[in-house]
Amino acid sequence: MSTTVLDVQAVRRRFSSLQGDFVFLDAPGGSQVPDEVGDAIARCLREASANIGAPYETSRRVQQILDTARDDAGRFLGCSSDDVIFGTNMTTLDFMLSRTASRDWKEGDRILVSRLDHDGGVAPWVELAADRGFEVDWIDVTDDLRLDLDDLAAKLDDRVRVVACVIASNAVGSITDVKRVAELAHDAGALAWVDAVHYAAHEPLDVQALDCDVLLCSPYKYCGPHLGLAYGKHELLESWRPYKARPAGTTPVGRKFETGTAPYELLAGFSATIAYLESLGGMSVLRDYERELGRRFMETVPDSVTIYGVPTMEGRVPTFLINVDGVPATDVATTMAERGYGVWAHDSWYSVGLREKLPYPQDAVRVGFIHYNTVDEVDGFVSELAKL
């Protein structure tokens, strides 16, 4: 438990978007962004509009932005900056890296994906299997919507090349024991391939401790710009042949997998994001604060509201899939927006494998708290739910 106490009002003063009365409870779809991140992006465009490798000042500034972003990413993920890969977004990186990893796989090889996964972590493998004759199978979930590790163990064999899973579900908030997943995968000779998009917004990351082979996330979920960020084990990245233009740079090793000109202004914004998070005490401080918001919501929500999945804050992040008795989810979302609360209704939340296990007929409402939300916002939302 962190000893630092988050001053949420001081945090909120750093966001122009939070100065009005509207309450954003939609962080799982993308967080609000502090002004300093936008300022860093604009400053890069004004002062470093160039490309790397030229013998003049603006090019040197761009190189510094790129080097700093790699260092910041390595610190955030818990890895060497050499093993960081930037891309357009997580899904694009996943499509590219999955094809890179599978160059020497054979027809009949198997891929295991989790029912908790966002389809951005499933579709790359499904399409790859369709092209190459691989087999894709689901790892099932338990009754409380956690990853079923026994089912994973039963489905592993010597034909499995990769086990892909999320650390935290973007739909129901369940956290997966990825370290155990990696142990099981490695014992079977498979790669552990991790989607940390949702988890990275709420919990500290340490890829070394997780022992995963590949991990991907998206800074726009934790108050940054729209980017994709990936880690790969060093020896793995060194062994892969990348898809890229041949004259392009290949050092450090992560750069081998970055295609085209990097979005340097967004990398400047990414570094400002990491500086922002670190100025608050880091992800462990934010985690502790957010868990209290989640506990308050779960303890005060009216009996008319069903929360799907893990019934306590142990084993989940503060993301909740709910329905209100007798009120269609789309009506809940629309009414809440009219009353000043931003939540969404959707059928699957892009977790198409999980949707088959969820006991609601059409849509459900997703509510997601993040560190800039307040106790008063939680209480106000619960009060409005009770009026429906």
At 104-153, the pLDDT tens digits run: 999 999 999 999 999 999 999 999 999 999 999 999 999 999 999 999 99
Complete DSSP assignment for 81-134: GGGEEEES-HHHHHHHHHHHHTTT--TT-EEEEETTS-GGGTHHHHHHHHHHT-
User: Is residue 108 domain-resident?
Assistant: yes
CB 168 within 8 A of CB 175: yes
Task: Judge if 172 and 301 occupy the same domain.
Answer: no
**Where is the domain boundary, 250, 277, 304?**
277
Same domain, 218 and 190: yes
Q: What is the amino acid identity at position 288?
A: D
pLDDT at 2: 53
Residues 92 and 205 in one domain: yes
pTM: 0.96
- pLDDT by residue for the chain (388 residues), tens only, comes to 456 789 999 999 999 999 999 999 999 999 999 999 999 999 999 999 889 889 999 999 999 999 999 999 999 999 999 999 999 999 999 999 999 999 999 999 999 999 999 999 999 999 999 999 999 999 999 999 999 999 999 999 999 999 999 999 999 999 999 999 999 999 999 999 999 999 999 999 999 999 999 999 999 999 999 999 999 999 999 999 999 888 888 889 999 999 999 999 999 999 999 999 999 999 999 999 999 999 999 999 999 999 999 999 999 999 999 999 999 999 999 999 999 999 999 999 999 999 999 999 999 999 999 999 999 999 999 999 999 9
> Which of 287, 312, 317 has the alpha carbon at shortest distance from 2?
287
Task: Indicate whether 273 and 346 sit together in one domain.
Answer: no
Domain span at residue 201 reads 39-277
Cα gap 169→147, rounded to integer Å: 10
| Per-residue pLDDT, 3 | 67
Alpha carbon 178 to its chain's center: 14
Name the burial class of residue 344, with classes exposed (0-12), middle (13-18) and buried (19+) by CB atoms within 10 angstroms of its CB: buried
Which domain CATH number covers 123? 3.40.640.10
Q: Is 1 within a domain?
A: no
- Regarding whether 289 and 273 lie in a shared domain, the answer is no
Domain's final residue, options 220, 250, 277:
277
Judge whether 2 lies within some domain: no
Same domain, 199 and 87: yes
Which of 277, 312, 339 terminates a domain? The answer is 277
Tokens representing 177 are 């024991």
Instruction: Specify the number of domains making up the chain.
Output: 2
